[in-house]
Amino acid sequence: MVDVVLRLSVRDLRGADLASCGWAGSGAHLADVAKQLERARLGEVDYLAVCPPADVPVAVGGVDYRAAEGAGTLWQVAVHPALQSCGIGTLLIGAAEQRIRGRGLRRAELGVEEDNPRARALYERLGYRAFQRRPEAWDVQAADGSVRRHETMCTRMRKELR
């Protein structure tokens, strides 16, 4: 076995990055991320990328400052499937929490699908606690280009930031 150490940095996601982020979602999803980058330009959200020295994103995620009063809401958090469970999600969430604190806010929130226990376990390890359940829905594009509505139950979680 060989251990490989990657040096990672966190920066703002750029439009030019989207071409290398196909692992994060469908073409429709990436088109939505492009719209979110416009919101980032307006200061409504932060959209972050975790990158190795090659400067190609291996994890991405957003913080929406308008979704919940007095909080930054993490959403669209994704780590390249080949690199999951390596601590990259923890790095990304920590950077997002720093951005939230940098805005003078003291609470982070997020939603996690109830059929995603690995993600929920990560969030709980990082100090997030459930406070609400609610149904959520969004459009999902299949490989053939068809679009269907994904409906799910999500647990809303929050963390008080120091």
Domains, the chain, ordered by start: 9-160 (3.40.630.30)
Phi/psi for 59 (5° steps) reads -155, 145
**φ, ψ dihedrals at 90, nearest 5°:** -60, -45
Task: Decide if pLDDT at 159 tops 90.
Answer: yes
Q: Which burial class, exposed, middle or buried, applies to 49 when counting CB atoms under 10 A from its CB (0-12, 13-18, 19+)? A: buried
Confirm if 97 and 103 have CB atoms less than 8 A apart. no
pLDDT digits (tens, 9 = 90+) for 61-80: 999 999 999 999 999 999 99
Residue 143 confidence (pLDDT) above 90 = no
